Structure 1
Amino acid sequence: MALVANARMYSATAAARADWKTLLAWVLARAELGWELIDHDAPAPLSALWAREDLGLAMMCGLPFSQRAPRPTLIAAPVPSPARYHGRPVYFTDIVVRADAPYQRLEDTFGGVVGYTLADSMSGGVALANHLAPYRQARGKRLYRKAVGNLIHARGVIEALAAGTIDVGPLDSYYHDLLRHNEPAFAQQVRTVASTEARPIPPLVATAALKPGELARLREALQASTTAPELRGVTERLLLAAFATPDRGDYDVLAQIARSHLPNFEEL
């Protein structure tokens, strides 16, 4: 079976998409793997990409990674360069409002309209519901008068906020930082009022069985990519400090959160 590679998940802008393709092509060449680098652009669902059995190197949300059986092979995880990541392969969910909105705290948004990307997305749905659950329990009634879903990705959340369709919504922090770095005018339409605690960042995985030596070559090539002089501009634009190799058990907490009794968005 011919394997494929893809980096759709953090292709936050057209430039980021091109840079990820450049980086992955370099990695495959260094690892001596003649796999095809495929596109899977929005609005095609990421779940369809992750369901494939021929992924040799693809970014996958940590939640489906933790839930899939058999679990994919964890190859590596990006370490974002901004200071708030402290050199760790983690990310947050930034909870944002429109830049000119009157809200100063998350609590100020209660009574308004909450948006989310997909109910089964960690950063765009589950992490937000988990963060809001204690507020919902303490309040004893709904936090928001309405929920708007199926915004697909962080760009959809920002567009909905700018249009006034929603009052508050979640952004994957690494995706958010890539937007702020590479497309600041678009990102400046929103501002952050709260962030969730750090969670393991979506990793690069393989759903297909790798041949002996392929995993080691991929990990070496990914690590080398962040110090290669010819990729310096690419990694700087991608805010990419390094690739780490976390334990796959680090992601178990995500499945545990999803299994807990979280309020659905129609109850928030």
Structure 2
Amino acid sequence: MTTRLSPAIACSRMYNLSPKISGLWDRLFHWLSSQSGIDIEVILHAAPAPLSELWSRPDMGAVFMCGFPFSRVAAAERPVPLAAPVSLADWAKGQPVYASHIVAARDKLFAEADLATLRWGWTVRDSQSGYNAPREFFAEIANGRSVRETTGPLLNPRGVVEAIRTGAIDVGAIDAYAYQLLELHEPDMIAPLRIVATTRPAPFPLLVAARQQPSERINALQAALLEAHRSPEGHDILSSLGLAGFAKPDIAAYDRLPARAKAIDDLLGGPW
């Protein structure tokens, strides 16, 4: 007698920036289920539910995970990396990397040299794009100066946008791919903002599966993702998400993130 497996979950929580964008991810996951032959249940796991709870679920099939928390899990206990997106944006240069845009109110003018004197916002401390990337950028321009004032956690890009809109902060960082999605589908949300600078690249948040998933499921999901750009329907879905395709994650690049974070702490004298 064959035991029927429960559905694997898929979740794009990190990039569910609006109902419209969430619907595009749902379309990708439904296509992935059809192509791989794996029964997939799409879930929201909406904020403020902790992402750590999502990433510990044994039924993960294709779930976005930030590279920094991924890098801090012991290799033997990590979720299984499936694929990392490759953005169509110029900053990606055809590689599975991303960056953060340092953003400010469109009508608030200042030079890059003034950034060290402004009030900064951050999302959560285990975020590469919303915390480590802006701190690294700040350390490189501050010339040993301390940050004037910081505000956080703002949780996500929407929190950064709102804090700038209300004047609670002067500048903050938004994941450059999240910004790309907003430009494509929700331009009004970022209309009050301007990009002041862009941070150094880092490995893109990756889609992962739980180690408890059967290897046959993992292999089928990974193969479908890596070949998605070759299918006319897959290519159309990827284009709607601003993606060229998916690539195999460079695990060594993720493993370097903790050392980068420590170097930032050393330069700034501790966390924000």
Q: Same fold (TM over 0.5)?
A: yes
Partner of residue 14 from structure 1, selected from 4, 12, 19: 19
The letter for the 1-side match of 2:146 is R
1:149 corresponds to 2:155: no
| One of 40, 43, 51 as aligned partner of 1:46 | 51
Q: What is the aligned partner in structure 1 of residue 197 from structure 2?
A: 194
Given that 2:78 and 2:211 are in contact with CA atoms closer than 8 Å, whether structure 1 keeps it comes out as no
Q: Secondary structure at the match of 1:226?
A: helix
TM-score, structure 2 as length reference: 0.89
2:71 corresponds in structure 1 to 66
Q: How does 1:177-256 map to 2 (within 5 A)?
A: 177-256=180-259
TM-score, L = length of structure 1? 0.90
**Residue pair 2:64, 2:205 contacting (<8 A) in 1 also:** yes
CA distance in 1, matches of 2:184, 2:154: 22
Q: Contact 1:117–1:153 at 8 Å: present in 2 too?
A: yes
Q: CA deviation at 1:230?
A: 3.1
Q: Distance in 1 between matches of 2:249 and 2:140?
A: 29
Counterpart of 1:240, as a letter, is L
Give distance in 2, aligned partners of 1:72 and 1:260.
Answer: 26
Q: 1:131, CA displacement in angstroms?
A: 1.9
Deviation, 1:206, is: 1.3
Q: Please state whether the residue corresponding to 1:78 is helix, strand or coil.
A: strand
Tell me if 1:79 matches 2:86.
yes
208-217 vs 224-233, greater mean Cα deviation: 224-233
Match of 1:88 in 2: 95
Measured in 2, the distance between the counterparts of 1:230 and 1:78 equals 17
Q: State the Cα distance separating 1:29 from its structure 2 match.
A: 2.1
SS in 2 for 1:117: coil
Aligned length: 262
Given residue 15 of structure 1, which amino acid in structure 2 is its aligned partner? K
The worse-fitting range, judged by mean Cα deviation, of 168-177 and 62-71 is: 62-71
Instruction: Tell me how far apart the structure 2 counterparts of residues 247 and 172 of structure 1 sit (CA, whole Å).
Output: 19
Q: Does 1:110 align with 2:113?
A: no
Q: 2:29, 2:40 within 8 Å by CA — same for their partners in 1?
A: no
Give, in angstroms, the shift of residue 133 of structure 1: 1.9
CA deviation profile, 1:194-236 (whole Å, cap 9, x unmatched): 1111111001011233323323211221133334333454322
* Contiguous gaps of at least 5 residues in structure 2: none
- Shift, 1:108, TM fit: 1.5
Letter in 1 for 2:165: A
Q: What CA distance in whole angstroms lies between the structure 2 residues aligned with 1:28 and 1:256?
A: 37
SS of alignment partner, residue 211 of structure 2: coil
CA contact under 8 A between 1:56 and 1:208: conserved in structure 2? no
CA distance in 1, matches of 2:111, 2:187: 21
Change (3 A) 1:232 1:15: farther
Instruction: Determine the structure 1 residue equivalent to 2:106.
Output: 99
- Match of 1:33, SS state, is coil
* Higher deviation after alignment, 204-213 or 120-129: 204-213
Aligned-residue Cα RMSD (Å) equals 1.9
Q: Which deviates more from structure 2 when the two are superposed, residues 63-72 or residues 220-229?
A: 220-229
Partner of 2:61: 56
CA distance in 1, matches of 2:194, 2:249: 31
| Secondary structure, counterpart of 2:227 in structure 1 | helix
State whether residues 71 and 254 of structure 2, in contact with CA within 8 Å, keep that contact through their aligned partners in structure 1: yes
Report if the CA contact (8 A) 2:226-2:248 is conserved.
Answer: no
User: Aligned match of 1:124 in 130, 134, 150?
Assistant: 130
Mapped contact 2:91–2:98 kept (Cα < 8 A): no
Distance 1:168 1:86, change over 3 A: same
SS class of match (1:40): coil
Q: Is the 8 A contact 2:59 2:213 kept in 1?
A: no
Native 8 Å contact 2:122 2:151 kept in 1: yes
